[in-house]
Amino acid sequence: MFSSPVFLGLLALLAASLMACTYTTQIPIVKVARRWSFMHSAGSIRKQEFAESLPRASIQDLGVILMGYGYEVFTKGPSLYAFKGLAGRFAPIGVHIAMIFIMAGATLSATGSFKGSVDVPQGLNFVIGDVMKPKGVLSFAPDVFNTEVHVNRFYMEYYDSGEVSQFYSDLSLFDLDGKEVMRKTIKVNDPLRYGGVTIYQTDWGFSALQVKKNGEGPFNLAMAPLKLNGDKKLFGTLLPLENSGSSNVKGISMLARDLQSIVLYDQEGKFVGVRRPSSKLPIEIDGNEIVIEDAIGSTGLDLKTDPGIPIVYAGFGALMLTTCISYLSHSQIWALQDGSTVVIGGKTNRAKLEFSEEMNRLLDKVPELISVNEKKIDSKQSAT
């Protein structure tokens, strides 16, 4: 689905739409926001979302207070312009670029990745390139595909109830010269990563039983999966006690749900007993002494290469960061000294109620100018 031409075409159309929006809308908005736009008319200032007049005030005092609130302040004669939160105007451009990165990474993943799966018995090996299949037209096999993987050991852990809790694969990687380049024991949710290839532990199976009969052997008996309702696993095998060329072969049946215990039945299908492979205890069945030497498990591995993952992760990281930045308010303030009165106006693109409250707090801190006559009266009053 995600590699179909229709889906990739829709991604390309969305990317083109985002780039067009960025070029025609977002970039011009940023250019306008960066300009120092002074207003020289009190009427124009009073038309802003927030407008107020301060009698007997100084535009220089207003500028100092604005700088204390984090504004960038510019003055030109009797006019003042201040702003803050310009990063909030750049953020939408960053959001668009991050989305384009995510789509580019997803496209590369859909058209340039490899995937494969394999079941390998303990002690055997495989070459990475033999199990990997390309998923798109941009899938090119890297040199790491010549690496050989050897399953040193496969084992499982169990709950007290006997259910499988976790399974592990001890893997070694060898280059073309037979040199071990990496070794790691993997488990579910803890994969092996090497040269862009990721090997996941996804499943397990029962490969074979090593059995001795009357002191002979051991014989390797292949275990076959048996169908059951639900997600439970059951494996079985047969140890022939008669000539295998006869039409009616009878033998000892052996069943197992996991690697820790084997259930044995005689030729008539009657239950005989249970043995653990690690115990090496013999059991007598139909006049034959049977010893379960070992249970050989097989590991189920999924392999993949996904060159788009770093791009997708980087895109999502940038998307989260720029989305948070985009919530910053871009606030603008204009002021004009009209005689002894300062006319103030402002606007913001977000949090308009908070902006009005901030402006009222800010204007309350602007000091009131005292005339010369008022100073003389104050001095006479203080003298008397």
How far is the C-alpha of 335 from the C-alpha of 58, rounded, in Å?
Answer: 10
So what's the pLDDT on residue 314? 95
Query: Which residues are within 8 A (CB) of 15 and not within 5 positions of it... i.e. 6 or more apart?
Result: 99, 100, 103, 104
Query: For residue 40, what is the DSSP state?
Result: -
For the chain, give every domain's residue range: 5-108+316-366, 113-204+300-308, 206-297
Give the number of other Cβ atoms within 10 Å of residue 138's Cβ: 15
So what's the pLDDT on residue 170? 96
How distant, in Å, are the alpha carbons of 45, 194, 261 from that of 294?
89, 32, 10
So what's the pLDDT on residue 165? 87
Q: Is 332 exposed, middle or buried (0-12, 13-18, 19+ CB in 10 A)?
A: buried
What would be the CATH architecture of the domain defined by 5-108+316-366? Answer: 2-Layer Sandwich (3.30)
So what's the pLDDT on residue 173? 96
How far is the C-alpha of 364 from the C-alpha of 87, rounded, in Å?
Answer: 28
Query: Which residues are within 8 A (CB) of 61 and not within 5 positions of it... i.e. 6 or more apart?
Result: 366, 367
Q: Are 234 and 228 in contact (CB under 8 A)?
A: yes
Running along the chain, 384 residues long, what does each successive block of 10 average in pLDDT?
Answer: 75 88 83 76 92 92 93 92 88 92 90 93 94 87 93 90 87 94 94 94 92 89 84 88 69 91 92 90 91 92 93 95 90 92 92 91 87 50 51
Sheet strands side by side (includes 125-127): 125-127, 148-158, 164-174, 180-187
Its pTM stands at 0.71
How far is the C-alpha of 261 from the C-alpha of 275, rounded, in Å?
Answer: 6
Give the number of other Cβ atoms within 10 Å of residue 223's Cβ: 23
So what's the pLDDT on residue 136? 81
Per the rule left: phi > 0, alpha: psi between -120 and 50, beta: everything else, 19 is alpha
How far is the C-alpha of 284 from the C-alpha of 156, rounded, in Å?
Answer: 29
So what's the pLDDT on residue 243? 61
So what's the pLDDT on residue 6? 83
- Provide the token pair at 128: 């990475």
CA 206 from chain center: how many Å? 33
So what's the pLDDT on residue 375? 47
